[in-house]
Amino acid sequence: MPIAALITGANVPDANVIGEVLDAVVMRGPRGPRRPEHLCLDKGYDYPHVAPALRLRGIRAHIRRRGEPPLIGKVRGKPRRWVVERTNAWHNRFRCLLVRWERHGAHYLALLQFACGLIAFQ
């Protein structure tokens, strides 16, 4: 189930908006937003500003470093990357999200959040 949705430009690296994505979490706990305790990230997040941004939010980062040998793709026999592709496939079932026709980012974000709500409801 998607827990946060944020839109950026196609040429903006994910590492630059990781703090904004974590602040966009819509699930609330008794004392604020519920965030994960640990966050596993790939080599694309190996920048000096990522770890302090996660530490500021109380999240322990597990970031693969550039130059490390790649993992096989499984952790204890279970593939992990398919979760992201599955969520993207769920969003692609909505035609208005598959091809962006809206000119305003706020309209597209509203449709994206509506689709996330429908996915969570189903």
Residue 82 pLDDT = 65
List the chain pLDDT tens, one digit each, 122 residues.
667 788 888 888 888 988 888 888 766 667 766 677 888 888 888 899 999 999 998 889 888 888 887 666 555 655 556 666 777 788 888 888 877 788 888 888 888 888 888 888 88
Residue 29 pLDDT = 64
Say if residue 54 is exposed, middle or buried (CB neighbours under 10 Å; 0-12, 13-18, 19+): buried
DSSP 47: S
Residue 62 pLDDT = 85
